[in-house]
């Protein structure tokens, strides 16, 4: 099993290209099930989750082509995927595939909308909370679906097709918003989605669906209106830059020190996180082709943060911020409100010498003068990269094990960091 070896102490200087957003690419790929024509997606990151979703979609009958891997292709341009679901050959998403990635459950919306039936395994993914699918099923029922659970599978039917309706989520859910919005594009009549997620990835999906012929208004607000159409067509769409990757590298620069331009980054996608970095003592400024992060010599100030749905501080940057806070001069407070089990990285950071105390869903992080390199273990996607950030600042050598978690969400992480002066390498296991 691969690991990542880091020798800390080097400041980061140079430029890091920001890849396409995983959290946008996955629902965009799933949207290909809604049309028999080809959906072309540009700037798709080369990640383990993307590869797994290709397999899942192929199981349903989606043919795909990939550009961006051949000699001469630009290394930082991302993949271009051509996805064609001319014929859906299977409406079952099996356990052995869906159990490995939670987002694959979202195929239930397009399959039900287009084929009027779907049999999808209950999902898996990172062990960061229960994250039930109740909101998904409630929303599909509101669109007229008949749903039952059968031995670990959700069996959904819509004889005669889905019907527009009013869907109100009790709490904000990005995945449920994606799923119901896709399903509603082919439902008869108007659908109103209330308490919808406002994340940029929802807006990116809505933009792509609109290019495909969908009628959607209000994406990016708490209320989305979808007027169903008889069918959707193919389109070409470019995946937006990854705001979580942007925030991760910004925090790495703030923690290790240095001067880096995050090329292709859009600051409006993560302004709350950039504001926190500014409070901590990093300089954040616009660059001609992205965002410039600088911290040269000055110490880090403590921060107080609560994770919230967009436009608040993202839960997907909570672990990275905690790694940064271990080097602050004082005590930081980080409260997690999105997932109930997202502090598994605390014990691993403690192995490096971090001083962190948990009280329910709040972590108090007391900054230390130095971290010491050690062997640590990744527990989930975002936790794993927090250990990388800590390793970049630690004295001596850090080895991060179980880095398959990293490969799910970070494209060419070692190459991007080493190009900016980090001493980091992958050790093949």
Sequence ranges of the binding site for phosphoenolpyruvate: 22-23
d(CA 316, CA 365) in angstroms, rounded, equals 18
Residue from 403, 353, 411 nearest 380 by CA:
403
Q: How many residues does the chain have?
A: 429
Query: With contact defined as beta carbons under 8 Å apart, do 196 and 190 qualify?
Result: no
Can you tell me whether residue 190 is helix, strand or coil?
strand
Tokens standing for 57?
């979609």
CA dihedral 414, 419, 424, 425 (to 10 degrees): 60
Sorted by sequence, the CB contacts under 8 Å of residue 101 that are 6+ apart come out as 49, 52, 53, 56, 123, 124, 125, 408
Q: Is 214 helix (H, G, I), strand (E, B) or coil?
A: coil
Choose the catalytic residue: 4, 126, 186, 274.
126
Annotated binding site: which residue ranges?
22-23, 102, 316, 338
Query: Chain-centre distance of CA 34, in angstroms?
Result: 22
Residue 166 β-bridge partners? 192
Catalytic residue at 420? no
- Structure token pair of residue 222: 């708490």
Residues identified as active-site: 126
């Amino acid at each position: 099993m691969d690991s990542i070896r880091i020798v800390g102490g080097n400041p980061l200087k140079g430029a890091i290209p920001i890849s396409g957003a995983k959290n946008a690419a996955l629902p965009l790929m799933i949207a290909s099930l809604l049309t028999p024509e080809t959906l072309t997606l540009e700037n798709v990151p080369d990640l383990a989750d993307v590869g797994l979703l290709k397999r899942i979609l192929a199981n349903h009958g989606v043919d795909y082509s990939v550009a961006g891997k051949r000699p001469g292709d630009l290394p930082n341009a991302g993949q271009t995927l051509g996805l064609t679901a001319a014929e859906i050959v299977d409406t079952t998403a099996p356990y052995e595939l869906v159990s490995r990635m939670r987002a694959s459950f979202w195929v239930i919306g397009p399959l039900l909308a287009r084929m009027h039936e779907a049999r999808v395994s209950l999902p898996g993914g990172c062990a960061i909370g229960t994250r039930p699918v109740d909101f998904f099923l409630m929303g599909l029922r509101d669109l007229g679906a008949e749903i039952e659970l059968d031995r670990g599978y959700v069996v959904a039917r819509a004889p005669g097709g889905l019907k527009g309706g009013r869907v109100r989520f009790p709490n904000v859910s990005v995945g449920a918003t994606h799923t119901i919005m896709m399903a509603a594009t082919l439902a008869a009549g108007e659908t109103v989605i209330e308490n919808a997620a406002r994340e940029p990835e929802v807006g990116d999906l809505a933009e792509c669906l609109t290019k495909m012929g969908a009628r959607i208004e209000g994406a990016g607000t708490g209320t989305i209106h979808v007027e169903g159409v008889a069918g959707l067509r193919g389109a070409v769409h470019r995946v937006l830059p990854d705001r979580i990757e942007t925030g991760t590298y910004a925090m790495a620069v703030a923690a290790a020190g240095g001067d880096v331009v995050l090329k292709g980054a859009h600051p409006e996608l993560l302004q709350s996180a950039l504001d926190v970095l500014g409070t901590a003592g990093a300089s954040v400024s616009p660059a001609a082709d992205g965002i410039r992060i600088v911290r040269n010599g000055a110490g880090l100030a403590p921060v107080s943060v609560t994770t919230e749905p967009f436009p608040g501080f993202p839960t997907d940057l909570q672990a990275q911020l905690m790694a940064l806070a271990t080097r602050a001069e004082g005590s930081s407070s980080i409260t997690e409100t999105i997932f109930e089990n997202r502090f598994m990285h605390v014990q691993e950071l403690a192995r490096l010498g971090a001083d962190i105390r948990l009280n329910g869903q709040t972590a108090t992080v007391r900054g230390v003068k130095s971290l010491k390199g050690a062997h640590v273990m990744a527990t989930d996607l975002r936790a794993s990269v927090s250990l990388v950030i800590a390793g970049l600042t630690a004295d001596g050598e850090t080895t991060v094990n179980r880095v398959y978690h990293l490969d799910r969400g970070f494209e060419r992480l070692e190459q991007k960091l080493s190009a900016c002066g980090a001493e980091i390498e992958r050790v093949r296991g």
